[in-house]
A and B are shown apart, each in its own frame.
Chain A
Amino acid sequence: GAGVSQSPSNKVTEKGKDVELRCDPISGHTALYWYRQSLGQGLEFLIYFQGNSAPDKSGLPSDRFSAERTGGSVSTLTIQRTQQEDSAVYLCASSRTGALGTGELFFGEGSRLTVL
């Protein structure tokens, strides 16, 4: 498809397990973001990739969170030793340019993570 694709759409896991969330951005988009949205809350910035530059990891809440982007395309967000407070919708977005360009973000449908 032409949009941002995320998988899985839903993930239920037990506390202490590791999870991987995948994002396939729009082809040709150099910027890729991960955000987290808890119920009824805004979008919490997690990490930002722009081209081949080092990612901006300033939003990652703890060292249990990590992300990579292979070949400037697909990205994986990994949460180790999940905790109940990690339960949220994880949204991936891509953009043709960085924020100083048009800045329009195209979002995927999100991955809803529930930690029991």
Chain B
Amino acid sequence: QKEVEQNSGPLSVPEGAIASLNCTYSDRGSQSFFWYRQYSGKSPELIMSIYSNGDKEDGRFTAQLNKASQYVSLLIRDSQPSDSATYLCAVNRDDKIIFGKGTRLHILP
């Protein structure tokens, strides 16, 4: 089992709809969870971090964590064309950060 698993996509979502991105991880000891966004040809940038079970909201973004199921998700409300990018899930393994392969999201105008 890969350490951090994501569906590679592409995930196509109409503009204005909710985009739902999912991630599972294998290390039950992981405590820190992150979503990074990467535009084509650019470097990743952090958009959300979450450390406790439940939901964390920041503007149009909501991160959800379920440690029992080893599952992290990212919801993007009112999707905009500018949200089209690859979304990388990342978790800590000990003191370092490991990334999944990313999900390509395409917002349809």
State the A residues within 8 Å of B (CB): 31, 33, 35, 41-43, 45, 48, 50, 56, 91, 98-100, 102-105, 107-110
> B102 to chain A: which residues have CB within 8 Å?
42
> B98 to chain A: which residues have CB within 8 Å?
45
Docked-complex contact B46 and A99, CB < 8 angstroms: no
Docked-complex contact B99 and A99, CB < 8 angstroms: no
Nearest A-chain residue to B6, judged by Cβ: A42
- The size bracket of the interface on B is 20 to 34
Docked-complex contact A43 and B46, CB < 8 angstroms: no
Docked-complex contact A48 and B99, CB < 8 angstroms: no
Docked-complex contact B49 and A42, CB < 8 angstroms: no
> B45 to chain A: which residues have CB within 8 Å?
107
> A105 to chain B: which residues have CB within 8 Å?
36, 44, 46, 97
Docked-complex contact A43 and B32, CB < 8 angstroms: no
- Complex Cα spacing A50 to B46, Å: 20
> B31 to chain A: which residues have CB within 8 Å?
100
> Besides the contacts A42-B88, A42-B101, A99-B92, what 17 more A-B pairs have beta carbons closer than 8 Å?
A33-B96, A42-B6, A43-B44, A43-B88, A43-B99, A45-B97, A56-B96, A91-B44, A103-B34, A103-B49, A104-B34, A104-B49, A105-B44, A105-B46, A105-B97, A108-B43, A109-B43
State the B residues within 8 Å of A (CB): 6, 31-32, 34, 36, 43-46, 49, 88, 92-102
- Complex Cα spacing A58 to B102, Å: 21
Nearest A-chain residue to B44, judged by Cβ: A107
Q: What 7 A-B pairs come out closest when comparing CB atoms?
A: A42-B101, A99-B92, A107-B43, A98-B95, A43-B99, A48-B96, A99-B97
Provide a sorted-by-A list of 16 A–B residue pairs whose CB atoms are within 8 angstroms.
A33-B96, A35-B99, A42-B6, A43-B88, A43-B99, A91-B43, A91-B44, A99-B93, A103-B49, A103-B92, A103-B97, A104-B34, A104-B49, A105-B44, A107-B44, A110-B43
Nearest B-chain residue to A3, judged by Cβ: B43
Docked-complex contact A100 and B92, CB < 8 angstroms: yes
> A109 to chain B: which residues have CB within 8 Å?
43
